[in-house]
A and B are shown apart, each in its own frame.
Chain A
Amino acid sequence: MNREKAFQALNALDDRYIAEALRYAPEGAAGASERSASMKSKRIVTLALAAALILALGAAAWAIGLSIHRQRQQELRQELQVDENRVEDYVEYPVPEDPEQAPESGVTLLSAMNDGEFQNYWVVLNGVTPEMVERMAAPILEDRDGSPLGENDHRYCWLYCGWDGESWYDVWPEGGHNAQGIRDAYDPETCTLTVRTAITIDRMPERAELRFIIVDTIDYGDAHVSDGELVWDLGSVSVERTGQTLRTVWFTEPVSFENGDYGGGEFLGMELSASGVNWILRHDGVSEMYHPHEFASEEERQEYLALEQSWLQAIDELERTAVLHFADGSSMAVNPPLSSEPAGDRVKDKCIFGHTIDPSQVVGVTLGGRTFEIP
């Protein structure tokens, strides 16, 4: 297709998508009933860690007699296969064991896990009323003055958490980032709502007082959580960044690759964790790609982006061939990386599995058509 036709084809994109992209609004893109479609990619990957958790919620007859907090912890352990995979990175916090001791308000921290890309926290919100749940679950079709919302305006009431009063992170029930997810995760008997949040590791301080709020936001095209109306403050909980255990493996021979005129590179090894793998590689463009640049012109910047894209493409092609082999004879393809982190003249490409594994059971890896045994 020539350039003119390509331009025209793009020009004819559906109005809905052009309107939707006027501003980045993942939490409000499609309204409360369709929030699952608006989840960030990072969340989608991590969400799979306990996708079936909701089935366990409310069905824990075996746990009767324990506090709802302890029940939730046990359910999470099971769903995340913490014991089966001996996941050291999963941290569980003390909670009231006895239902009589359960707090009536505030936030109870259940557990945390650092998956290398995100710091995940699971919490129980106490003292959540049915009114709050319905406010979040029911679609809102009117402006605050009672007038109907425009076709492209969205008003929604949702949960967020943050520690500095400026940046807010999405909070969602494991069962789904939507109305049904909220209703399913709510236990009316104990007035508790079990939810999760994931904070990008490089934004997460060592310690923080995580505050959970419900905000009523109207998105006319330029709204933000901080512009919304605080409806309920559910309290806060102290959290800290947790560690990640890595098993470093060096390949007996580097896996080399070429990137045309830009040069070449090699995969040297990998760092395995219960929730992901970091590929360790070195290539000719590293110093240019991962160090701060000041561009003399737009043209220079575009050239840099072309170089960066070329490397990412070459590396991506190889990483897509990666398969881990386990002691029991099973194998697993590895998801492509979500981000890269420079380390001297090397780079670590971080991939998240979306579930947990036992890193000690990995006995081999296939990359670029070559298979290495791991001692």
Chain B
Amino acid sequence: MEDERILDLFFERSEQAIGELDKKYGAAAARTAGNILRSRQDVEECVNDTWLGVWNRIPPLRPSPLGSYVCRIARNLAVSRLRSETADKRNHSLDLVLDELEDFLPSGQSVEADYDYKETVEGINRFLESLRYDDRFLFVRRYWYADSVKEIAASMHRKESQISLRLFRLREKLRKTLQKEGLLV
């Protein structure tokens, strides 16, 4: 079913909306949460919480694209759950992804840290805009969805080593882009 029709069902407060949303984006939401949470039960609960979150927000919101909105809620809920459950422990897959990027982003230690942050977000979005589809897919799957290199390699029919190398080059490119824009020393 098209996104617009699903949104109409939400606006009509029809419970069919959840079923259709689950049918269309259930797998994507579960995968997004599953990359952050380890327990299958946690993932299922997180997806159910996502549907509840969407139900509570639509209406009045009418998000577009709907798919990324759903995944964004699933990701945030998964991270909140992870934080409450693991306290000071580090989640390996998510932390590894952040570790990879940490050195390629501005330090944020300056007095203009908040300004830097906003500029950095815009800089990353501009960087993504400049990439070819394959590279953008790779970057977003790794650093937003926190997919493993193996999963990305499988979905793109490439070798893991090729994906690792490409990610490395993309991080370098990001660093250079941010340096060029004066966002990274």
- CB of A59 closer than 8 Å to a CB of B: no
Given known contacts A21-B144, A30-B133, is B2 in contact with A143 (CB within 8 Å)? yes
| A64 at the binding interface (Cβ < 8 Å) | no
Decide if B164 touches A13 in the complex (CB within 8 Å).
no
Given the interface pairs A143-B2, A316-B169, the reply to whether A339 lies near B133 with Cβ below 8 Å is no
Assess whether A252 is interfacial by the CB under 8 Å rule. no
Within 8 A of B (CB), among A278-327: 289, 298-299, 301-302, 305, 308-309, 312-313, 316
Tell whether, in the assembled complex, residue A312 and residue B92 are in contact, meaning their CB atoms are under 8 Å apart.
no
Which segment of A3-11, A92-100, A133-141 sits at the interface? A3-11
Is there contact, CB below 8 Å, between A19 and B67?
A: yes
- In the complex, are the beta carbons of A37 and B71 less than 8 A apart? no
B177 at the interface (CB under 8 A from A): no
A2 within 8 A of B: yes
Q: Within 8 Å of chain B (Cβ to Cβ): is A55?
A: no
Q: Select A5's contact among B25, B27, B117, beta carbons within 8 Å.
A: B117
User: Quick check: is B24 within 8 A (CB to CB) of the other chain?
Assistant: yes
Given known A2-B108, A37-B132, A152-B3, contact A18–B161 (CB-CB < 8 A): no
Residues of A within 8 A of B133 (CB): 20, 26, 29-30, 37-39
Q: Which residues of the other chain, B, contact A10 by a CB distance below 8 angstroms?
A: 101, 124, 143-144
Contact assessment for B24 and A17 in the assembled complex, using a CB-CB cutoff below 8 Å: no
Interchain CB contact under 8 A, B159 and A8: no
Q: Would you call B132 and A221 a contact (CB within 8 A)?
A: no
Given A13-B140, A19-B68, A336-B169, A7 and B132 contact (CB-CB distance below 8 Å): no
**Count class of interface residues, chain B:** 35 or more
Q: Knowing A2-B108, A147-B2, A298-B92 are in contact, say whether A17-B169 is a contact too (CB < 8 A).
A: no
| Interface assignment of A41: CB less than 8 Å from any CB of chain B | yes
Do residues A9 and B120 form an inter-chain contact, with CB atoms below 8 A?
yes
B79 neighbours in A (Cβ, 8 Å): 7
Known: A13-B124, A26-B134, A41-B134. A302 touches B92 (CB 8 A): yes
**Is residue A370 contacting chain B, with contact meaning CB distance below 8 A?**
no
> Known contacts A1-B107, A24-B137: does B121 contact A12 (CB below 8 Å)?
yes
The smallest beta-carbon distance between A10 and chain B, in angstroms, is: 5
Beta-carbon contact of B156 and A221 below 8 Å: no
Given A3-B98, A313-B168: A41 and B132 within 8 A (CB)? yes
Q: Which of B75, B95, B150, B161 counts the most chain A CB atoms within 10 A?
A: B161
- A-B interface, 9 closest residue pairs, ranked by CB to CB distance from nearest: A18-B68, A19-B65, A19-B68, A150-B2, A21-B140, A1-B105, A38-B133, A1-B108, A29-B133
Given contacts A1-B117, A150-B4, 7 further A-B contacts (CB under 8 A): A6-B105, A23-B155, A29-B137, A39-B132, A302-B96, A309-B164, A312-B165
Residues of A participating in the B interface, judged by any CB pair closer than 8 Å: 1-3, 5-24, 26, 29-30, 37-41, 44, 143, 147, 149-153, 200, 220-222, 289, 298-299, 301-302, 305, 308-309, 312-313, 316, 336-340
